Structures are given as C-alpha cells and as structure tokens.
Amino acid sequence: MQNKGLIKLFAVLFGLVSLYQLSFTFKNSAIESDALAIAESKFDASVEDRKEKVNDYEVKYLDSLATSNEPVFLGSTYAEVKENSMKLGLDLKGGLEAILQVSVKDILKGLANNSKDPIFNKALDDASELQKDSQNDFIDDFYSAFDAIKGDTKLASPDIFATRSLEEEIKPGMSDDEVKVVLSKKIDESITSALQVLRTRIDQFGVASPNIQRLGTSGRILVELPGVKDVERAKELITSTAELEFWDTLKGEQFFQYFNDVNSLLKAELEAENKVEGEDAVAQETTEEEADDLIGDLTGEEDATTKEVNPLLDLIRGPGYQGGPIVYQFNIADTAKVNTILKKREVRALLPAGLKNVKFVFGKPAPNSELTELYVLKGNRDNIPPLSGGVVDDARQSYSPTNKPTVTMQMNAQGSKIWEEMTDIASKTGSQIAIVLDNVVYSAPGINNGKIAGGRSEISGNFTLNEATDLANVLRAGRLPAKAEIIQSDEIGPTLGKEAIESGTMSFLIALALVLVWMFFYYGKAGIFADIAMLLNILLIFGILSGLGAVLTLPGIAGIVLTIGMSVDANVLIYERIREELSKGKDQKSAIKDGFSNALSSILDANITTGLTALILFLFGTGPIKGFATTLLVGIGTSLFTAIFITRLLIDWYVTRGGKLDFSTGITKNLFRGINISFLKKRKMAYVISGVMILVSLGSLFTNGLDQGVDFVGGRTYQVRFDQPVSAAEITSVLSDDAVFGSADAKTFGDDNQLKITTKFRIDESSEEADEAIRVSLFNALQPYLNGMDYESFIENKESKTAGLMKKYKVSPTIADDIKKASFWAVLGSLVVVFLYILFRFKRWQFSLGAVAAVFHDVLILLGVFSLTYKFMPFSLEIDQAFIAAILTVIGYSLNDTVVVFDRIREFFNEHTEWKFEDVIDRSLSSTLSRTLNTSLTTLVVLLAIFIFGGESIRGFMFALIVGVIVGTYSSLFIATPIMYDSVKKGDAADALKNKVVETEEDVEVNA
C-alpha cells in the first residue's frame, strides 16, 4: 500500500480531532453533574417541594454560568462548551417535539381585513371541510372552494383583498391568477415571520440546543426542545398568539336586566321543547311521578317536576363589584356553555339599544380557584380594539408594590398617544381599561390620577413568576401572525430519557464486546487488528457527530451499533479474500495485497447500496429516524476508511516486522472450506417455501391486518407507569366506557406495571384545551390504580421515578396521511434508486430484477410476521415511522448480501470462462457462504444485544431488523440469484451475460 505516511497522518489527525471534540461533551457532563450536586446540597430532604427547588436552582446556576465570560475549559466559556458538546435527542434527554400548523385561514382573514364578504367566508369554511380529506395545502383548497362559488366575484374585489393594506400590490380589476401570486408571497412571509417569532421566544426561554425549522410550504413548523423540564409551559409559549388588546369597559350593573331577559328567553324555549316531548311521553308519566315522589320522600328533595329551572341564572356563582366591569362570576367549567349562550343571535338581539356591539370576555382565574369573572367590554362594529399589542416596543417582568409578579410595557410613539387619550377618558369618566391577551382579561385597572403619558403601562393578573416572565418574553418577541396549533407532539419525561441512556449504553457496550471477542475467536491475531480499527471507527463516528452538531437519539445509538456490524462485514470480506488467496498457495504479502484489492469492489458496492437507502431515510425521515440515518451514513464512511486503510496499515506493519498471520484459528481454519453446494438445483424448493410464506403473509395482511400506530391513523398515545402491576384488558375496558373515551386500547409496554394507551377520542381536535381535557379524563379514569397520586404529580411524574405519565404522543389525521405518503415514497424511492445502481454496476437488468424481487420478498414476509404475531407478542409491534426505517434498513442489508454474491459472479465470469453458467452461479454462492453467514451471525448478535438490553421503546424496531437479517440472508442465497438466473435467456445465456458483465476497466487496487 502506497502513501502509508499520509494514511498515518490522517488517522492520527482524525483521532485527535475526534477526542478534542468529544472532550467538550465530557466536560459539559461534569459541569452539569457539579451543578446538580451543588443544588442538592442547598436543600435537604425535609424541604417542601425539594425536587422543584433543586431543579430551579440548578437551572439558575447553569444560566449564570452560561452568561459568564469566564473560561471553564481549554479557553472556552461554559456556553461554548455546551454548544460544542454532543447533543442528546428527545428520547435520551426527555423534552418536547412538536409540529405546529400555522393557520393559513387566519392569515387570509388578516390579509382581507376580516372581510364580511359572504362568498369569501363560505370559501374559507368550505376549504376547512375539504382539508379533512385532502392532501393539498389550505390555500389550494381555498382557491378550489372560491372558484366553485365565486360567480362574478373576484379575489381583487374591494370587499376581499383589494384593501388599503394591500393597495400597493393588489389593484381592483386584477385577475385571480395575479392575486394568487401576491397571496402566496404574503402567506410565505407570514409563516417566515412566525418562524422568527418562535425562534426568538424559545431563545429567550433558555432551552439548550433547540431545533426550530419550517417543514415544506404548508405552514408547518417543527420545534424540538430536548431537556425542557416544564413541557406544559413550553407548549403554552410556542402556541400563544400573544394577541394583546386594550379595550374600554362598561359597568356590569348595566346588564343585570339583560341577563334576566336572556334567562326568560331560554326558559321559554326550554318549556316549549318540554311540552312537545311531554306529549310523546304521556304513557310513562304516572310511573315516573310515583318514582319521583318516592325519591323525594327518601331524600327530602323538591319534586323534580316542580323544581324551577333557570338556564342562565343557575350558572351564576357570584356577582361583580359595584361600578366595575364584571357582570357575574361563573365556574370555569361552565365558561364554554355561557359563551355559547351569549353568542346566539336571538340572545344578542336582546341587548339594549346603543350596546349591540358589546363584548363579553372572561378573566384570568386566580390560582387554585374554580371561579372566573365575566367582563363586559365596549366593543365596536368592526370588533377592532382601540389599541393593540403591535405598539409594544419592550416588555419586562417586574413586581407590583405588593411584591406580586407583573409585566411592564413600553409603547412606541403612536401607541403612547392613543394610550394617553384612552387613560384621559377613563380618568374623567371613572371607567376602567381592560388589558386582554388572547381573548382573556388579565386586568382592568382604573385610572385615578389623570391621563398616563409616555406610553408606559403595567399588566397584573394573578401571575406566577414563570407566567410573568413568559408573557414578557412573548410580548418582546412579538405576536404570531396567526393561530398555531400542535398537530403532532411527542413529550417524554426526563425519567424515561435517563432510562433510555442507560439501556442504550448497556446494549452498545454488550454488542461491542461480543463483536470484539468474535473477531478474535474467528480470525485470531488478525481479528485484533480488525478490533483496533473498529474502536477507532467508533471514536470517529462520535467525534464527527459531535463536530457536525448532530443530535444523538436512541435509534441513532442503534445505527452506530448496526454500523459495528457493517464494519465487521468489510473486515470479513477482506479476510475471507485473503484466506482464499492463501489457499491458492500465494505467499503472505501477495495474498494480503490481492485480498484487499479483490475485496474492494464488493465492499464499495455493498456499502453504497446501504448508503443509498440510508440517504433516502435521511431525506424522508424526521426526528429520531433522521438521527438513525445520520449515524448510519457517517458510520458507512468511517467504516470504509478504517476497514480499507487502518486495518491494512496495521497488518502491513505486523507482517513487515516478521509476524505471521493465518487469518483463522485452529477451530475456524477449515470452516466453510471446499464447500460446493448446488444452490440452483434447490431453487424450485426455495420458490415453493417462499411462495407459501408470501401467501400466508398476504392472507394475514388482508384478514388480520397490521397494528397501525398513531403515526398512520392519527390519535393520542400515553405511556403510563404504575406502582404495581395492572391488567391491560381491565384498563382497556375502563377507558372504552362511553363516559371516558368510548374507544381505547391499552397494551402492556415492557414490564407489567407499564401500559401504552392509545385513543382516537376527539381525534379531529388539535387544541391544547382538547389535549388537557383528554389528559384529565385519563387521570380520572385511572385514579383507582394510582394510589392517591394527584393530577399534577401524574402529569409531571414528580412523586417517584416509578409512576406517572412518562410519555405523550399526538398525531392529527392530516399529518398521519402525510406520514403515510412520505413512507410510501421513501420505500418506493429506495427500490428505484437501488435498481438503477445495480443496473449501472452490473450492466444487466436481470441483476436488478433479482435484487429487487428479493427485497419485495423480504418486505412482504416481514410485514407478514408482524401481522401474524402482533396480537400475542410481549412487546409492541406497531407500524409507525420507526418500522418504515426498519424496512429501509432491511432493504439495505438484503441488498448488501446480494451485491456481494453478484460481485463474485462477475469475478468468476472473468476468471473461469470455461465454466457452465450454472456452475458459475453455484460456485459464487458457495465461495461467499463463509462471508454471508459470518456477517449475518455477527449482525444478529449485535441486534440481539440491543433487542434484549436496549429498552422497550426500540424493541419492535430491533425485532423487525432481526427478522429482516434472517430473511435477507436466505433471499440473497435462494431468491435473488436464482431469479436472475431464470430471467436470463437460456442457450446463449453465459455468453449474453459475459458480454455485459465482464469488467472492461482494470482491476481496482488500493493505492492510497
């Protein structure tokens, strides 16, 4: 091998750079451990809420360290150390991953200045309906809906988009196509603005290593916040539109009579309905009255038939205060009911003359209170506040004179002028100004000392310190241009993340130890050199990932461990070729040189095909799946470098010093030697076996189906851990009650005290209110099994490491359809790319056909195994994005095996021109059998180690890979090559193949 000095230099430099890069990770870990130890030393076990206080102190300590410019390691500050350290993903550190959908509907309304045009608004509503079963963006469905009903109306109508705010870009008379270009640009600008607002908010929130990126052009934004401890606070931060408004108020007592009138109207409607129903139920009346009398005698209650019902007044729980803007107080649980009543057209018609545009808005409840106040605001015809939050230049968290958290704001010149006018009027009339954020009244201060000049104001309103801080950050960063809803989210508790790190590390070390021992056992001293190269390979992988800023996930660890198997494969290919050359009688140096040279083509083809599938996985995958693809791609590159160059360097060094290598041990020396199996004669039997397996798989797929996860059907999944074992069937029955979810599925997930609960209840609702309501229902239903745990402890998993809600996952139906679509194209794309690559390398479509047929065979059987076994396996076999990653990995592995065989066929055609066509095939399969079995066994050992020790969340993924490796090894021997053989014309088959397959270029040598 030439240029040995250069290879040594590169190896040393790469190793040192990797060690340097990883040193930041070790230092960051040490600093965080010290911070936790210092925080724990501040609060002993007797302190109330010790865990929360320790967490708060730890965060503050690290924040102060991050803002300090003092160097802590190699001249770097702590902020720089943290930035350069290995990033841990959500599944290893806990936290939140969410996909937000910015409402294009709201953006269009804003661009049209909330137009009242009936055609425009109907088109918006129709587009919302179309979206339920559509793969189009909202804007495309809006155009379709508008075109269907527009008549002579144009988008450039003054009542729609030819408004004053767009007068520079949209002129009356413009065609719809011209307006669409402008709208697309404006929508894109709004979504970009939303992205920047979210980025600023999250930066101020102080999350380590956040990831915020736009997904495509549909208005979706991915937010990843690994390590965030208060997930609910983070969700509120990223979804709050922060629509700040200032409204003049009216006096609550002005509306007492109005509420009485509304109650009378509702009462009359109810009596009319009851009269109709009563006429239909005469036959049952006597029996029911007797039952009511009996119950009344026993309980002392008033007769139900004579008790007066007041639909609105019965909901009132308290009055407002004299002269203030509060009408009444209501239970928080009744606010939706009250809003529904007050929005009815016939109810609005009862408003006093001159007050038809009044706004009723509920206030922010006090902490731990079940009541909230209903404010009455002085509305207007256009429903536009006199002053909005767009005038806020700066906002800071501060404290009131009574030391309660507040938010102070500074307005710009325009806002200051309007604020001065509003406060002047309020001061003179003795009225108040309501400060409203996202349609909730936070405070309604009176102005007692005249007008307020300078534009400085304060918001108070039962804030916690965190709420005040977050509100100040949100106001400072700006409001979102439209409502943003979480349509997919994955929330993992820190306990689960810590367990994932421990199980991932354990599986990695066990797999590595097994492979190191196996290589030494099989190849003797030469195995030690392969082991050294493998350890360097792992160092380089971690160093490169750290240097690239890549996020390490649990599937990423699996990708690294799988890379170990691939690294072994390259060394096995080389060593098997060297053993073949030695068996031909060549001297040691010549055998080593020819072995490396002859193995190179197979190594490159095998790794390129696997790399292509990994690339497609990287392009189509998200989150942990992309992490898996990233580590696999990096691992392929480092494996090639270490196997081809480093192993060669070590072997040459040893041989030059007079050492002797047999590339085997006493046990393995003659293993698989002299084998000549007639594979082609067994192909018909293999076809029958495979045909039966495929038919059984298809039958099960059509009858039994697959256990589709929420990734593909939408819904919510909760991973709940209990203090004691629970029955999955019993929990399923409890949650499937109509009073809870109506339909739910609970499965044991790992240990028998842990369940994975899935429900499609309220599947079409993505709001945080719906999420919270479902979590409350889940908690209430599970209370008998939670040993007295309260709701907050259940949600945040505070009380113990062994109980609580460990993980939450939500996928809306719309994004589930998108995931299905992306998965389909990922699998199809990988097959097409591999077909073309093999066609390019081997010059005959028969090779591509054999390889792709084997892949289809493997995928169908894998699906069949999942379909047949998911109902009784003791671990989850859900079909989700991770399963698609497993399919693509199986495709890559199966092709890896097949390509090695094809490469040997091509070589034997060159060397043995006198052999019959079938002899070439059989000899090729027999000569690569040692490599095929060795690599497959090694990879299986690696996968089994992860399967057993790698944690429950990755077990189904590993099971798919294990099945895939077994089936892929079988298909490379009995399906791919036989199909290639049968698809070539008989008679002149050998000549036909030789003319295309024989290489015209010189044999490849490693000269680097």
* Top-confidence residue, 275 or 374: 374
* Percentage of residues of the chain with pLDDT beyond 70: 87
Residues 185 and 212 in one domain: yes
Residues 20 and 114 in one domain: no
SS (H, E, C) 492-536: ECHHHHHHHHHHHHHHHHHHHHHHHHHHHHHHCHHHHHHHHHHHH
* Top-confidence residue, 467 or 932: 932
Burial (CB count within 10 angstroms: exposed 0-12, middle 13-18, buried 19+), residue 179: buried
Q: Which token pair is 107?
A: 């953006």
Average pLDDT over residues 77-97: 80
Distance in angstroms (rounded) separating the CA atoms of residues 634 and 22: 16
Residues 459 and 513 in one domain: no
Distance in angstroms (rounded) separating the CA atoms of residues 114 and 137: 21
> Over the range 533-572, which residues count as b (16 or more CB within 10 Å of their CB) and which as e?
bbebbbbbbbbbbbbeebbbbbbbbbbbbbbbbbbbbbbb
pLDDT band at 289 (very low <50, low <70, confident <90, very high): low
Residue 715: which residues within 8 A CB-CB, separation 6 or more? 758, 759, 760, 763, 810, 811
Q: What is the CA radius of gyration of the chain?
A: 35
Residues 823 and 909 in one domain: yes
* 794: CATH: 3.30.70
Distance of CA 901 to the CA centre of its chain: 38
Q: Token match 């990096």: residue?
A: 634
Q: Which of 907, 930, 941, 924 is nearest to 978 (CA)?
A: 924
Q: Which of 85, 113, 134 is at the close of a domain?
A: 85
Residue 223 in domain = yes
Residue 93 in domain = no
Average pLDDT over residues 301-318: 72
Residue 241 in domain = no
**Residue 727 is which amino acid?**
S
Q: Which token pair is 241?
A: 């539109």
pLDDT band at 1008 (very low <50, low <70, confident <90, very high): very low
Residue 709 in domain = no
Residues 842 and 858 in one domain: yes
Q: Which of 325, 285, 397, 229 is nearest to 796 (CA)?
A: 229
Give me the helices (H) in 809-928, please: 813-842, 845-869, 881-911, 917-927
Distance in angstroms (rounded) separating the CA atoms of residues 760 and 763: 5
Residue 283 in domain = no
Tally helices (H) and strands (E) across the chain: 34, 23
> Over the range 418-456, which residues count as b (16 or more CB within 10 Å of their CB) and which as e?
bbbebbeebbeeebbbbbbbeeebbbbbebeeeebeebe
Q: Which of 991, 614, 511, 539 is nearest to 833 (CA)?
A: 614
- Cβ atoms < 10 Å from Cβ of 680: 19
3-class SS of residue 130: helix
Query: What is the length of the chain?
Result: 1008
Q: Which of 582, 587, 584, 631 is nearest to 611 (CA)?
A: 631
Q: Which of 915, 895, 896 is nearest to 905 (CA)?
A: 915
Residues 227 and 340 in one domain: no
Q: Which of 742, 763, 958 is nearest to 862 (CA)?
A: 958
* 917: CATH: 1.20.1640.10
What pLDDT sits at residue 291?
46
Tens of pLDDT, residues 197-223? 787 777 666 666 677 878 777 788 888
Q: Which of 781, 811, 841 is at the close of a domain?
A: 811
Residues 681 and 755 in one domain: no
> Of 211-215, 511-515, 524-528, 918-922, which range is least confident?
211-215
What pLDDT sits at residue 862?
92
Distance in angstroms (rounded) separating the CA atoms of residues 852 and 835: 7
pLDDT band at 295 (very low <50, low <70, confident <90, very high): very low
Tens of pLDDT, residues 439-494? 888 878 777 677 888 888 777 766 777 777 767 776 665 666 777 888 777 777 66
Number of domains comprising the chain = 5
> Over the range 315-348, which residues count as b (16 or more CB within 10 Å of their CB) and which as e?
bbeeebeeebbbbbbbeeebeeebeebbeeeebe
**From residue 971, how far is each of 644, 858, 890, 935, 938 by CA, in Å?**
28, 7, 12, 15, 18
Q: Which token pair is 665?
A: 């041990």
Tell me: pLDDT of 1000 over 70.
no
CB 479 within 8 A of CB 219: no
CB 474 within 8 A of CB 242: yes
Average pLDDT over residues 24-46: 85
Distance in angstroms (rounded) separating the CA atoms of residues 640 and 635: 8
Q: Which token pair is 723?
A: 């203090």
Distance in angstroms (rounded) separating the CA atoms of residues 239 and 555: 29
**Residue 902 is which amino acid?**
F
Average pLDDT over residues 354-379: 87
Helix axes 50-67, 4-42, angle to 10 degrees: 130
Q: In what order do the strands lie in the sheet with 433-437?
A: 387-388, 244-248, 433-437, 440-443
Q: Which residues is 486 bridged to in the sheet?
A: 100
Tens of pLDDT, residues 223-249? 888 777 777 777 877 877 767 788 999
pTM above 0.75, yes or no: no
What pLDDT sits at residue 298?
42
Q: Which of 85, 119, 141 is at the close of a domain?
A: 85
Say which DSSP state 972 is in.
I
Q: What secondary structure does DSSP assign to 623-634, as a single string?
A: HHHHHHHHHHHH
Instruction: Domain of residue 175: give its range.
Output: 99-236
Residues 795 and 826 in one domain: no
> Of 37-41, 420-424, 709-713, which range is least confident?
709-713
Residues 979 and 847 in one domain: yes
What pLDDT sits at residue 988?
45
Residue 652: which residues within 8 A CB-CB, separation 6 or more? 1, 4, 592
What pLDDT sits at residue 677?
85
What pLDDT sits at residue 863?
92
Q: Which of 979, 997, 621 is nearest to 825 (CA)?
A: 621
* 417: CATH: 3.30.1360.200
Average pLDDT over residues 874-894: 79
Average pLDDT over residues 75-87: 85
Q: Which of 902, 973, 962, 972 is nearest to 937 (CA)?
A: 962
> Over the range 932-948, which residues count as b (16 or more CB within 10 Å of their CB) and which as e?
bebbbbbbbbbbbbbbe
CB 208 within 8 A of CB 226: yes
Tell me: pLDDT of 798 over 80.
no
Residues 728 and 580 in one domain: no
3-class SS of residue 915: coil
Residue 279 in domain = no
Residue 992 in domain = yes
Residue 483 in domain = no
Residues 364 and 504 in one domain: no
Tens of pLDDT, residues 646-676? 999 999 899 988 888 888 888 887 776 767 8
Residues 28 and 71 in one domain: yes
Burial (CB count within 10 angstroms: exposed 0-12, middle 13-18, buried 19+), residue 395: buried
